Structure 1
Amino acid sequence: MFRLCLLFFLLTACRADEPSQPFINGVVIKVKDGDSLVIRDDQNQERQLRLAFIDAPEYSQPFGSEARRNLDRWVSQKHVQAQVVDTDRYQRRVVVLQLGNTDINGEQIKAGFAWHYQHFAKGKQSSADFERYQSLEQQARQGRLGLWQEARPVPPWDYRRANRGN
């Protein structure tokens, strides 16, 4: 019995770094860029959030400020629900953001202001949502929306790698 209790304790302790709340409700008080924001939750706590499964242009990249403005138009000062899927290295909750029935992460892709971040989506995003995000990106590309107006837009992960240490 002691071993069983010890095993349970150890397994529980190993999960301590996982998000403790599957959902966070609150009002968006600041949009930082095209894929991160701050909300004031229902307990009056400020929370830094990163949108899951997408990567928007950095602010200094072409369409970075437009991506931020688009997200701001959708959610600024609005009550949202964030489904927590992870915590990143900056201790931000990584979330799928909902405004009513609208998937805001998908809307950023649909408008051409974010890539579907396949590298992080694989294995974490449902196959139906993975396919939907892929389709939204393909439609934005074909419609030359947002960042897809550029001949060869640089993905943010390549931009960050090229500009490390600068």
Structure 2
Amino acid sequence: MMFKLFFISFLFFLACNPKTETSNSLPKNFEGKVVAIKDGDTFKVMYEGKEKTIRLEHIDCPEKSQPFGNNAKQLASDLCFGKMVKVVSNGKMDRYQRLIAEIYVGDINVNKELVENGLAWHFVNYSKDNSYAKLEIQARKNKAGLWSDVHAIAPWDWRKIKKAKNKK
């Protein structure tokens, strides 16, 4: 009986206290101004007078030192630097305490634009969203952006190679 009472109380607590914010007091969805583009998939957005770092969900752009890395950063900048954007998230943070989210400028999904233009991979290790897979397949067929290079290296492999070289 005591267990049932505890369980019902716990369910009531969860129902009355939905988690709508991340651990650093950010709401899941908010609007803010993009004040920096660190690389193709990492932005800084001003929200309530503070810079918040956003890591684009579902995608991985080439590293800055990698071919097409600067192109990804430039497209991201062209799309949203200095603009008000909508940040849509499930509230999860990555290991660097960046909010993982999709960013919209009006009706444009910046994450998807990067994949469609061949400047990002669908990050299948962290995303099961088939719409990103379809965009990547189309970009590959069109040889868009990085897909014009038959030897394009995924950023996660690039990072492993770089890390192995640094250990030597």
Q: Same fold judged by TM-score > 0.5?
A: yes
**Deviation string, structure 1 residues 119-156 (Cα, Å, up to 9, x no partner):** 1003xxxxxxx222111111111111111111121000
Q: Which amino acid aligns with 2:28?
A: P
Note the residue ranges of structure 1 that are not aligned, 5 or more in a row.
Answer: 123-129
Q: Are 2:64 and 1:59 aligned? A: yes
Q: Which amino acid aligns with 2:27?
A: Q
Match of 2:101 among 95, 111, 120: 95
CA RMSD of aligned residues (A): 2.3
The separation in 1 between residues aligned to 2:61 and 2:107, in whole angstroms, is: 22
Q: Could you tell me which residue of structure 2 aligns to residue 69 of structure 1?
A: 74
Name the SS for the 1:66 alignment partner: helix
Q: Which amino acid aligns with 1:55?
A: D
Q: Could you tell me which residue of structure 2 aligns to residue 138 of structure 1?
A: 137
Q: Are 2:166 and 1:163 aligned? A: no
Note the residue ranges of structure 2 that are not aligned, 5 or more in a row.
Answer: none
Deviates more, 1:20-29 or 1:111-120: 20-29
Q: Are 2:110 and 1:111 aligned? A: no
Q: TM-score, normalised by structure 2?
A: 0.83
The separation in 2 between residues aligned to 1:136 and 1:71, in whole angstroms, is: 17
The separation in 2 between residues aligned to 1:9 and 1:47, in whole angstroms, is: 32
The aligned length equals: 155
Q: What aligned pairs does 1:13-24 form with structure 2 within 5 A after superposition? A: 19=22, 21-24=27-30
Shift of 1:101: 1.0
Q: Are 2:43 and 1:37 aligned? A: yes
The 1:139–1:25 alpha-carbon spacing in structure 2 relative to 1, beyond 3 Å, is: same
Q: Could you tell me which residue of structure 1 aligns to residue 150 of structure 2?
A: 151
The separation in 2 between residues aligned to 1:47 and 1:9, in whole angstroms, is: 32
Name the SS for the 1:118 alignment partner: coil
Q: TM-score, normalised by structure 1?
A: 0.84
Name the SS for the 1:106 alignment partner: helix
